[in-house]
Structure 1
């Protein structure tokens, strides 16, 4: 079925640094009860089930939900990139004590998230138009989770795949905090990006493919997580599934397949 365009936005040039991004059209489509966001191309950036706006519709967001294995009570979360606000809404709903700060360059993406993707207006959720890197440079707040999900019509901008960026993110984590990034599995440079992350985080990195050849979610830890035993994590994932109403075991198994040896009873960094 072809997508039905229900809204199309062209944003306004606000400063020279925003010119290129602000020229990209933002589109919202609906197919079979699922609303999706597109920026510059037909590629789906985010999707929302209209009858259940907080449900994690796309596979890569379900992989990101595995983050609750390592911290299910975060206090401060920073997200770079907003899209349709799937993960911001997820943390808002399921992490009741968390304050979430979302940085998004494109003002019309912010407008669309509020107008079409049920993004809550709440003091616990700050949405800021601006550059996430500049924000982290100017503010020394430490975060329990930093989520990097910044894409343009060509993929991940180079600045978000650099050693300097990963180092900056690491410097803004709490002692038990972790950095999570959404990468393209089909990008031939993705293995090198992962190697760079490993170098910055001293090898304390886990990765989970969301599908083939789709997204790869990388989690990098400032310090080793307190719990890496597979039986304990398996028990916890069952509790998380019940809490959020989403089946995660297939993604948990992918976590094990890619980050544990066959004779190991705990996750191992690769």
Structure 2
């Protein structure tokens, strides 16, 4: 099972690719079997284990995959923000998806992901370039919606925009789930906790992860609940294929705080 080696054993970083766009610098950096997508001053966005690009190295991506398992049989998914694409690849590999759409702001991000970070051109996958806040209205309704919009300065404005976050939930099909990778405040609560509690009527679940984020699992409506038993069953059945267990993240789940 792969895992990042101790800091003292990490090889020197090797710059694989670098581009400059209107938003700043994007780099692909290699360290051993891993490649990292970085924005700006070495702000890491994604980590890919190159022998198996669908491997999820970090807990926040595993928690987002766990959120997808809240749905019994998802057929469609919408990703707002691509990064290196390893969460997208994991979902394509391990979930019964027929249609996956990604909206990514920066055109060089999917190009670099495909050229240098193992993202494959799956026939089920469509990538659109543009601002997710502007393009969300034109997206199809979906079973799963992932929000992971980060710059080199932190979360994009959409992570705290009431109307946008409301529109995200409204894009869900009945039984669907909205999964948000949210920054955590110093108290361990998600950034914008008061806004989130009001918008979603405290009807969601939080998964704090060791990277310092809180992943939010939000159902399509107030009548829909998280079936913990079914979630544990799906995660247990998937564990041998994943090569790791999602059980520690299930145990970390808590109702909206």
User: Aligning the two structures, in what range does the TM-score lie when normalised by the shorter sequence?
Assistant: 0.7 to 0.9
Query: Once structures 1 and 2 are overlaid, which stretch shifts more, 1-10 or 72-81?
Result: 1-10
State the partner residue of 2:69: 69
Question: What pairs with 1:43-58 in structure 2 (closer than 5 Å)?
Answer: 43-58=43-58
The CA deviation at 1:194 is 3.0
TM-score for both structures, normalised by structure 2: 0.87
Residue 8, structure 1, aligned to residue 18, structure 2: yes
Give 1:198 deviation, angstroms.
Answer: 2.7
> May I ask how many residue pairs the two structures share in their alignment?
246
CA distance in 2, matches of 1:126, 1:176: 23
Number of the residue aligned with 2:204: 205
* CA offsets 1:184-232 (integer angstroms, 9 cap, x no match): 22577964523322322222211111115x121111112344552x444
- Aligned CA distance change for structure 1 residues 184 and 171 (closer, same or farther; 3 Å): same
Of 101-110 and 87-96, deviating more is 87-96
Does residue 89 of structure 2 align to residue 96 of structure 1? no
User: Quick one: distance in 1 between partners of 2:56 and 2:116?
Assistant: 16
In 1, distance between residues paired with 2:118 and 2:90?
12
Instruction: Give the equivalent residue in structure 1 for 2:177.
Output: 178
1:10–1:192 CA distance, 2 compared to 1 (3 A): closer
TM-score, structure 1 as length reference: 0.83
What is the RMSD of the two structures over their aligned residues, measured on CA atoms? Answer: 2.1
Using the TM superposition, give the Cα deviation of residue 35 of structure 1 relative to its aligned residue in structure 2, in angstroms.
0.7
Look up the match of 1:124: 124
Structure 2 CA distance for partners of 1:189 and 1:66, relative to 1, 3 Å: closer
Please tell me whether residue 244 in structure 1 is matched to residue 242 in structure 2.
yes
Specify whether residues 183 and 86 from structure 1 end up closer, same or farther in structure 2 by C-alpha distance, changes over 3 A only. same
Work out whether residues 183 and 191 of structure 2, in 8 Å CA contact, stay in contact via their aligned partners in 1.
Answer: no
Shift of 1:56: 0.7
Structure 2 regions of 5+ residues with no counterpart? 1-9
**Deviation per residue, 1:21-49 (Å, 9 max, x gap):** x2411101111311110011212110111
Give the alignment of 1:142-181 within 5 angstroms.
142-181=141-180
CA distance in 2, matches of 1:191, 1:226: 20
- Greater helix fraction, Structure 1 or Structure 2: 1
Change (3 A) 1:167 1:189: farther
The whole-number CA distance in structure 2 between the counterparts of 1:191 and 1:82 is 21
**Aligned equivalent of 1:220:** 218
Distance 2:25 2:122 in 1: 27
SS in structure 1 opposite 2:64? helix
CA distance in 1 between counterparts of 2:86 and 2:186 reads 23
